[in-house]
Structure 1
Amino acid sequence: MPQPNLRRQLALWLLFPLLGLLALDTWLTYERAMSAANSAFDRSLEFSIKSIREGTQLIDDEVQVNLPYLALEMFESDRGGKIYYVIREGGDGAQGGGNDGRAVTGYHDLPLPPGRLRPEPYHTAFYDAEYRGETLRMGALQLPVHDVPNARTRVVWIVVGETTEARHELARQILTGSLQQEVLLVVLALAIVWLGVTRGLRPLNRLSAKVAARGEDDTTPLDNVDLPTEVKPLVESINQYVGRVGRMQASRQRFFADAAHQLKTPLAIIQAESELTLRESLSAQARERVERLNQAVKQAAKSVRQLLSLSRLEAEGGPPVAMVPLRLDEVARSVTLDWSPVARARHIDLGFEQDGPVQVIAQRELLAELCGNLIDNAIRYAGDGAIITVRTRLDGTVPVLQVLDDGPGIAANERDAVFERFYRSEQSHTGTQPADGSGLGLAIVKEIARKHRAQVALDEAVGGGLEVTVRFPGHEDV
């Protein structure tokens, strides 16, 4: 499912109502445009009717019409529509003599206005009518004409109609111009809203960047200075949540640290007593049991030390690790020499190689612990008689530490899992001697590497075995 976007949602919430208002305004604008077009064209019709009125006379009791030049010009003009007219007698002296009067000139079947629209004399009435399958806009004038010498009066209807194409075209032009302006205003309104929302979301973007830039161990409260009042409750909620998580983690770490400290002393006593017991005369069966006990106590003591190390490395809110320039090759060589006796006891060829001086920014004790855990892991799992090589080099400007062995290695599908605590690989022992690891060594390596912003990778060594590579940040990245 696509993630919701606040700017897009606000734009849509505004767009649909604006489109509805635009549709309503389109209808209202078209009605106003048609009204304006009718008003303009009706004045033209009325002018033509008045022109015809000037040429209508009653002579010798006969209605005679002399269409003036302006009226003829209108009838013959090319305005995009058709013009129809009729001059019809309406009866002697009667106002509105009906539709059965004689047509003097024009289209004889052109309809007169309905009775409810019959105007007063000398007043023009406007109406719509259907004529020959077309809609006409009609203007009708009821005109009394007089034959003064003979004292006669007749009522004459002057009716002029035109088709509505020109009116609709004018209305469409008015509507098009209005719609262009309104669409432009809608687009500008949406752009303004989008810009306003974008600027309004800047505090949230800054807050997001600030949270993303925080370290994994940083549980200090977020600063809510210069934030909108609507965002401050969110920051306060985040601070409360971070505080609860920090207290929970601190409590858990204290528990592990206290438990490990409490276990160190009795384990040391048990180990010492078991070693003293092994110096005494024991039966073969009893000696075997005490040796197993001593080995188990040693392993438990090592696990406690490793748990303490992990607890120290994962301490939230603790003092930052002091990083100083160090020679990686010197630290690795020193640690390799420290582990040489352990390797000789198991007939392991432990060697060190370097490709010139390699400098890193690190903490000496943690760097030595990382090297020691990698060598210890190789000794435990490579097996007796294996060959282990510790190597330092520069890959361009990137310092690299490698530990290689020719042991059974680690299957590709397990190389991520072995960094988890207490995970034991299916290939964690050789055919001659089971490995006594606790599954914490590589977890400590990963945690120390994280502290140094280094990357740890496992791969198959050339010729078989395991190759562990730690790549530290280059000088330009420090």
Structure 2
Amino acid sequence: MKRAEGGPRLQRKLLAWLLGPLFLLLVLDTAAAYWNSLRFSNLAYDRALHEIARELALHVKPGAPRPQLELSPGEEALLLLDQQDRLSFRVTAEDGTVLGGDASLPAPQQAIPRNGQPVFYEGVMHDEAVRIVAAWLPAGNTVVQVQVAETLHKRQRLTLEMLANVVLPQLLLIVAATAVVWFGVSRGLQPLQRLRRAVSDRSHLDLSPVPLEDVPGEVRPLVEEVNDLLARLARTFDFQNRFVADAAHQLKTPVSGLKAQIELALRETDPERVRHSLAQLFISADRLSRLVRQLLSLARNEPGALDTVQLQPLDLHAFALEVSMDWVPHAIRRNIDLGFEGPDEPLMIDADRDRLRELINNLIDNAIRYSQEGGRVTVRAGRAADAVKAELAISDDGPKIPLAERDRVFERFHRLLGTPTDGSGLGLAIVSEIATLHGASITLEEDTDGIGNTFTVFFRMRT
């Protein structure tokens, strides 16, 4: 069986939901760790930068008309010595005169407090980012503004080292957690993989239930529904197989009879004999047609068949009378007294009109077919003795059905031994199936007058 494209989607979703938040937390934690590392790095090196500014202020000497910066090249080189970064400075008098240093040093964007508190800010100098400290510092009897700028190399290096010390252990932990989660999810989904193989590897003819052993509780209801579906399919296929077998068995005899009559008619040269053979052909074809109709009706009314039952409110009294009237011509031809008895009130039930018509037709047909000529068939509709059910009874004058045979007459293709009347043994089986579809029950008893039988169907009345 071809595997679905894209792989096991459930596994991918589980891993995404479990590992996605971990990696999101790692990103957020990395950003927070970088910010903290940068802050601590600036705190550490800003102090050194401030100390250089204070040292520069000590080299400012009073003078006229303004103070003077007395700083030899050697002292300047020693003060600004750094193996990783380049430092620059500028000293400005109160009147704005630059006393020394690099005049291109970026000025601060905010006012510098006169109380000696330093101000730190970022800037760009000679196309390179720098960190700058600015402060008003005392120089004898005056104050001067001292600015010291430093490139960011050692700060960035310290920031990255601190970030690595914080993030790398977390990254390794998340990698280990990813491996554990991946392994756990894979092991947890193994029952589903075995279930998939159990379904994909079985034959299309195998409708046995899927084993429920080792099936996770979350999936068990789905597997139980699948097993229920397989059971319904098995019943449907079993019904189809039985129907095909029954149809083939029942059609074999009349078809063979038709072929024999046709062969006989083809050999005859006497017109009267040919006419007689054609008449027998018509009778055989009529029997075959009736058998086919009954087989189709049996298939349609079989429990589990695809044709659905449409139950609607229906007056059993009026409907039974309507169907019985259709059988009057046939009863007259057989010299049968067909009567109907019913109450003056409606008998409301829920029924499928077409199927209920089939039920009544089969019972009346069975009664007329097996009643002796000049006999009596009575159709009665009324309330049952419990007053909560409606009953439909058909009485005939046919041969009494022995007590031992009364249950078997509703089986398919069952006919009483010694019955001279032609039949297929399907009529009462169809009646039983239709009664079951309506939730009705059927009984068979000896007729009250001691002659014949009475079939009674009990329906639930509408409340």
TM-score normalized with structure 2 length:
0.47
TM-score normalized with structure 1 length:
0.46
